[in-house]
Amino acid sequence: MSPVNLSVRDEQLRELMDDPDCDPVRLEATLRRFHLVNRLISGWDQVYRRRLRPTLLRLDRPARVLDLGSGGGDVVTRLAQLAARDGLQVDWTGADPDPRAHEAAQHTQNQRLQRVQGVHGAPSVRFLCADADALLAAGERFDVVVSNHVLHHLDAPGLLDFTEASRRLSTGTVLHSDIARGRLAYSLYAVGITPLAPGTFLRTDGLRSIRRSYRPEELAAALGAAWTVSSPAAFRLIAEAPGRG
Ligand SMILES: C[S@@+](CC[C@H](N)C(=O)[O-])C[C@H]1O[C@@H](n2cnc3c(N)ncnc32)[C@H](O)[C@@H]1O
């Protein structure tokens, strides 16, 4: 078998979960297991400590934070747990235009949140089945907009629409986190995902995700001068821009 070519993004690959007719049982299992995968590889605890918490503390009032493309909802739930433990009051929203993801998030995450008691009681997250345009049309604005693993799903016009709309939704800052494409990331994921993959799309879609993902310099070129793209940890990239809301 010839080795996978990772020197260029493979935009033609489609992830199984992006098929509206994919197996719903496997999709739900995939969305539910994202919380383990994200805890292991996405580095949001570090992003929270280094970038989000200082921003929330500076506001000196309850903040509004949106996770755009929140999928199964585990990243925004984890952020809500971390902020509750720090005694921060935040209105959290997770929005995803895919009704299957929205349903999974609503079903799973509020149970998880009940297990955490912050100084202001259990945190909660509002989950909406909506894309950025619907949120803008509804007049929603946030202090911070984040996303995880959405950028690599999008084609070139979709990437610009998504990132521009995320800036319009934010009056403060925008942070989009994703995988950085690379041979080592691909090889380690192929081995490491094995125990978590049965009954899910995690193996096929994770490897396709890496092949669709950007290197930091590619993403910087695609997004343009308003955005700063950095690599906060191995195999990760983060794109940051000021909001325009
Ligand atoms: C790989 S999942 C990531 C889900 C979640 N953020 C996570 O990290 O587990 C990608 C998600 O992006 C959502 N998505 C795709 N295109 C989008 C768009 N234009 N606006 C908002 N969400 C989008 C999909 O519905 C899907 O739930």
CATH code: domain of residue 154 = 3.40.50.150
Residue 115 pLDDT exceeds 90: no
Residue 190 lies in a domain: no
Residue 16 lies in a domain: no
Q: Which region among 37-46, 113-122, 205-214, 232-241 has the lowest average model confidence (pLDDT)?
A: 113-122
What's the farthest any 2 CA atoms get from each other in the chain? Answer: 57
Over residues 135-156, the mean pLDDT reads 98
Cα separations in angstroms, 226 against 61, 147, 238: 27, 17, 14
Ligand 1, pocket residues at CB < 6 Å = 34, 38, 68-72, 74-75, 96-98, 101, 131-132, 148-150, 153, 158, 162
Residue 196 lies in a domain: no
Residue 32 lies in a domain: no
For the CA of 35, the nearest atom of ligand 1:
9
pLDDT category, 122, cuts 50, 70, 90? Answer: confident
| Tally of domains within the chain | 1
Name the region of 235 (left: φ>0; alpha: ψ -120 to 50; beta: rest). Answer: left
The pLDDT assigned to 2 comes to 65
pLDDT category, 123, cuts 50, 70, 90? Answer: confident
Residue 156 lies in a domain: yes
Assigned token pair, 218: 């590619």
Phi, psi angles (nearest 5°) of residue 174: -130, 135
Residue nearest to atom 26 of ligand 1 (CA): 71
**For the segment 174-202, what is each residue's pLDDT rounded down to a tens digit?**
999 999 999 999 999 999 999 999 999 99
Q: For residue 94, what are the β-bridge partners?
A: 67, 127
Residue 2 lies in a domain: no
Residue type (1 letter), 75? V
Residue 217 pLDDT exceeds 90: yes
For the CA of 34, the nearest atom of ligand 1:
9
What is the residue range of 49's domain? 39-182+214-242
Residue 60 lies in a domain: yes
pLDDT category, 1, cuts 50, 70, 90? Answer: low
For the CA of 161, the nearest atom of ligand 1:
19
Over residues 10-27, the mean pLDDT reads 95
Residue 147 lies in a domain: yes
Residue nearest to atom 27 of ligand 1 (CA): 71
